[in-house]
Each structure stands twice: as C-alpha cells, then as structure tokens.
A and B are shown apart, each in its own frame.
Chain A
Amino acid sequence: EAGVTQFPSHSVIEKGQTVTLRCDPISGHDNLYWYRRVMGKEIKFLLHFVKESKQDESGMPNNRFLAERTGGTYSTLKVQPAELEDSGVYFCASSPRHEAWDEQFFGPGTRLTVL
C-alpha cells in the first residue's frame, strides 16, 4: 500500500511569488491534514479535511493560504503571495477515521524556502 506522497519535495521561490503544494493521501483515507514546521520549532496544525469538506481550518495563518481538496482525493495548499516567514516544512497526513487515538500517517514533507 502506497503511503502519503507530497510534491514537490523542495521548493525555492522569491518573496511575492505563488507556490502550490500537493498531497496525495493513502487511498481510502477520508481525513487529510496539513501541518507545518517553521524554523525548527514545533509542528503546527493548519487544517483538516473530511473528504472534500474543510472540517477545521483554525490553524491557517492568514488569507494568503488556500487549501483545496477537490473530489475528496488529493489536496493542494497554495501560498499567494509568499512571504519570508512562510519558509518551513509542510507536512500532509491522512487517516481513515478521526478518533483521538487513531494514527495519522504522514508524508515526507515539502521544504519551502522563500527568499
């Protein structure tokens, strides 16, 4: 069974540009999560999808970030326009259910560098 995949693995962009990150969850997982780790600090929650619906987007830092999950399969996270403080590693995770004790399966992350 394929794990969670993310693309690209690394992106380097100029401040003010747009970047789109993609996440393909494990097949059949209705729950998809985005997290990010900035400057070696703690990993922070961004948002949660159940199928194509946003269940919780309380962690989205501002309106420069837009996440979508069309058709309830893969998800994209767009940053427009990117700022220096957006640099970090963006992780995607998926799970079949969303009980508190359930494992979330993580992808390898996308390292975003904004210059």
Chain B
Amino acid sequence: GDSVTQMEGPVTLSEEAFLTINCTYTATGYPSLFWYVQYPGEGLQLLLKATKADDKGSNKGFEATYRKETTSFHLEKGSVQVSDSAVYFCALRNRGYNKLIFGAGTRLAVHP
C-alpha cells in the first residue's frame, strides 16, 4: 500500500543554518504531497503542498519540489529561525482516497 518515509529526528541546528528534511513516498498513481507542521502545544498546520510532478510548494521560506522520478518531496529552508522549532510531517493523499498517509514526523530544534 501507499506509504511515506521521512528522516528520523531529532534534527538540531543553529539559527540561520540550512535545513533539509528528507521525505520519500511509495504510491500508485499520482498523489498530492503535503508538509504539515506541529508547533509546541498546537495542532497540525498545513505548511505547503504540491499536486503534480515538478510542482514546487513554498511557504514561510520553506520549499519542497514534487519529484516523481525519485518519489521524493524533501523539505528545505535556507536559513532557519528558533521559531521554526516544531515537528514536521510529510504526507500524501491519493486520488479517490479520503485519508492522508503520514510519515513518522521529524522533530526540529533550532537554537540561537
């Protein structure tokens, strides 16, 4: 069945460092891909999404490109801030299905 694999955390970075969180997926057809973020004490929020191959989702300085050839949707940010400390979840949703399929989440800690 469909699945999402993302890099294990925690990831610890200094402020202004470059961030990459790897995400790969297995799916039939052409799923939509998402990154959700959970800040401490809050619910999941959609960070960005891409609905077809080669689409780039972007928001708040974060970017991810839908790579069908490598079945990947890696999350990147050029310069992280302390306020980016959160848990990041990669997810997919296939056409004809209602559910989101999530990876295990990657905790990011950014220190000054």
Cβ–Cβ contact B43 & A91, under 8 A: yes
Cβ–Cβ contact A43 & B105, under 8 A: yes
Contacts of B51 in A (CB 8 A): 100-101
Cβ–Cβ contact B44 & A91, under 8 A: yes
Contact residues on B (Cβ < 8 Å of other chain), bracket: 20 to 34
Cβ–Cβ contact B102 & A44, under 8 A: yes
Q: With an 8 A cutoff between CB atoms, is A55 at the interface?
A: yes
- Which of A98, A101, A107 has the most CB atoms of chain B within a 10 A radius of its CB? A101
Q: A100-B94, A101-B32 are in contact. Are A109 and B102 (CB under 8 A)?
A: no
Scan B33-57; emit 1 where CB is below 8 A from any A CB, else 0: 0001000011111100101000000
Could you jot down 14 A-B contacts, CB within 8 Å?
A: A33-B100, A37-B105, A42-B104, A45-B99, A45-B101, A48-B99, A56-B99, A91-B44, A100-B95, A101-B32, A101-B51, A104-B46, A106-B44, A108-B41
